[in-house]
Amino acid sequence: MTDQAATQDISRSTSPPASIDQLIADNARALSSQLHTLRARLFPPTAQKELRLFSSAEAARLIGVTDGYLRQLALGGGGPAAERGPGGRRLYSLAQVHELRRFLAKSKPGYIPARVGSEHLQVIAVTNFKGGSGKTTVSTHLAQYLALRGFRVLAIDLDPQASMSALFGYQPEFDIKPNETLYGAIRYDGDRRPLKEIIRPTYFQGLDIVPGNLELHEFEHDTPRMLAEGKKGDGLFFARVAKALTTVDQDYDIVVIDCPPQLGFLTLGALCAATGVLITIHPQMLDVASMSQFLQMTSGLLSVVRKAGGNLQYDFLRYLITRFEPNDGPQAQVVGFLRNLFGDLVLTQAMLKSTAVSEAGLRKQTVYEISRDQINRQTYERAIESLDAVNGEIENLIRKVWGRAAA
Ligand SMILES: Nc1ncnc2c1ncn2[C@@H]1O[C@H](COP(=O)(O)OP(=O)(O)OP(=O)(O)O)[C@@H](O)[C@H]1O
Ligand SMILES: [Mg+2]
């Protein structure tokens, strides 16, 4: 179906509407089917996403060695055999990058960053009830960055809107069946299943996902009902996400949770499971004003949860400036205001606004998935630099919690 045909489909369904619910249902169907077609065109023929190959320079940077060293290694027959790209350039898949790490780790274990000994699982909740503050963009790029760096990562889409799942190539209403979101593992009734069964691998080797869809919203309905009936199920609502995560603790180094834009029971569950919290802020005065309400409400709710026995021991909490335009005077002022107020709680690095994010988004991709020849080179470089700087700062927070030196 062409884009034009789809548009006609949608407009055809508007006349004559039997009722408003019918009209909306028709529009939903038309949109869903068109999205399905678009996806099939973007990722033919199996409609599955695949991760691109990385140049030898990129692979070297991810591993933390020089390009020259990788070349020597390749010449000496060490590590996996790279593919040859245009001009004989060596290209590595992410699986091969991991293989190289394992090869190098034989003489220096530090090349594999997985946690050891008493280093505990890091669960990072990316939150703010302000819609559009950059939660999904931040959490998806963070999860992918950490996987590229060699950590074992689980990304959880806790938002019924499922934007993170969409970035990973899933169309929530098509690809995610009942009981295939985190709801399946935290629900109160007998249909609850082990989280392990729900987790899916992604095309980023080392990064798994628990996708989301509208079903997650059920938790917001079930919980007040359980509370009203004075039932706990098999554990209090705020402990359910944490409890599910304990069953997969050994499989991961870091869990990244993309929270919904509301302070409901799902978000509270994520905050109780978290060891680290990132609050995303788009630096505009109106957004900051609403954040003040978010902080007040969060603090009130968390104190209730704490008194009820909830675990709220954070290794860190940080504010992250998102979609930042340094040349925008008012934005720079708001950032200055926040830094004065919150000091070191505001991450030094800000996520810059970039068309690379939106251009990649059009193809349901992140900046880490596109390559430098797909968009304007300078735009690409600037975006990658900003993302790596933000994510690198977060990686170092995690390393510090584990008692390691900065990367
Ligand atoms: N650094 C950036 N540069 C350009 N656009 C961005 C950037 N970060 C986010 N955006 C865009 O801003 C919009 C909102 O971002 P995002 O979806 O990450 O916010 P969110 O907080 O998850 O929203 P919601 O509350 O609806 O879940 C998206 O269209 C996204 O592509
Ligand atoms: Mg989102």
- Where are the chain's structural domains? 54-111, 122-401
Residue 5: what pLDDT?
A: 44
Ligand 2 centroid–CA 160 distance in Å is 9
Burial 384-397 (b: 16+ CB within 10 A, else e): bebbbebbeebbeb
pLDDT tens digit sequence for 28-39: 788 878 877 777
Residue 130 CA: nearest ligand 1 atom is: 25
Predicted confidence band of residue 47 (pLDDT cuts 50, 70, 90):
low
Nearest CA to ligand 1 atom 23: 132
What is the 3 state secondary structure string of 117-158? CCCCCEEEEEECCCCCCCHHHHHHHHHHHHHHCCCCEEEEEC
Residue 358: what pLDDT?
A: 93
Predicted confidence band of residue 235 (pLDDT cuts 50, 70, 90):
low
Residue 203: what pLDDT?
A: 95
pLDDT mean over 299-304: 86
Residue 139 CA: nearest ligand 1 atom is: 18
What is the 3 state secondary structure string of 288-315? HHHHHHHHHHHHHHHHHHHHCCCCCCCC
Residue 101: what pLDDT?
A: 95
Residue 261 CA: nearest ligand 1 atom is: 25
Ligand 2 centroid–CA 259 distance in Å is 7
Share of residues in the chain with pLDDT > 90 (%): 65
Q: Which ligand is nearest to the CA of 365?
A: 1
pLDDT tens digit sequence for 128-174: 988 899 999 999 999 999 999 999 999 999 999 999 999 999 988 88
Which chain residues have CB less than 5 Å from ligand 2, an ion? 135-136, 163
Ligand 1 centroid–CA 358 distance in Å is 9
Task: Give SS3 for 91.
Answer: strand
Is residue 174 within 8 A of residue 39, CB to CB? The reply is no
Residue ranges lining ligand 1, Cβ < 6 Å? 131-137, 159, 161, 163, 261, 322-323, 351, 353-354, 357-358, 361
Lowest mean pLDDT across 130-134, 161-165, 177-181, 392-396: 130-134
Residue 324: what pLDDT?
A: 97
Residue 119: what pLDDT?
A: 97
Which mutation among 133, 137, 267 tests ligand 1's pocket best, with the greatest number of atoms within 8 A of CB? 137
Predicted confidence band of residue 11 (pLDDT cuts 50, 70, 90):
very low
Among 325, 42, 5, residue whose Cα is nearest residue 170 = 42
Which mutation among 136, 141, 347, 369 tests ligand 1's pocket best, with the greatest number of atoms within 8 A of CB? 136
Among 128, 151, 153, residue whose Cα is nearest residue 140 = 153
pLDDT over threshold 50, residue 123:
yes
Ligand 2 centroid–CA 136 distance in Å is 4
Instruction: In whole angstroms, give the CA distance from residue 83 to residue 132.
Output: 40
Q: Which ligand is nearest to the CA of 128?
A: 1
| DSSP E strand boundaries for 236-387 | 254-258, 276-281, 316-321
Ligand 2 centroid–CA 241 distance in Å is 19
Q: What is the mean pLDDT of the chain?
A: 89
Locate 260 and state its tokens. Answer: 């919904």
CATH number at 54-111: 1.10.1660.10
CA 200 to chain centre: 14
pLDDT tens digit sequence for 326-364: 999 999 999 999 999 999 999 999 999 999 999 999 888
Please name every residue paired with 277 in a beta bridge, in sequence order, or none if there are none: 125, 317
CB contact set of 7 (below 8 Å; sequence gap of 6+): none
Residue 403: what pLDDT?
A: 95
Number of residues that this document lists for the chain: 407
**Comparing 154 with 75, which gets the higher pLDDT?**
154
Residue 15: what pLDDT?
A: 58
Query: Which element (helix H / strand E) includes 49?
Result: none
Residue 355 CA: nearest ligand 1 atom is: 4
Ligand 1 centroid–CA 134 distance in Å is 4
pTM equals 0.90
Q: Which ligand is nearest to the CA of 127?
A: 1
* CATH of 122-401 given 1.10.1740.10, 3.20.20.70, 3.90.1710.10, 3.40.50.300: 3.40.50.300
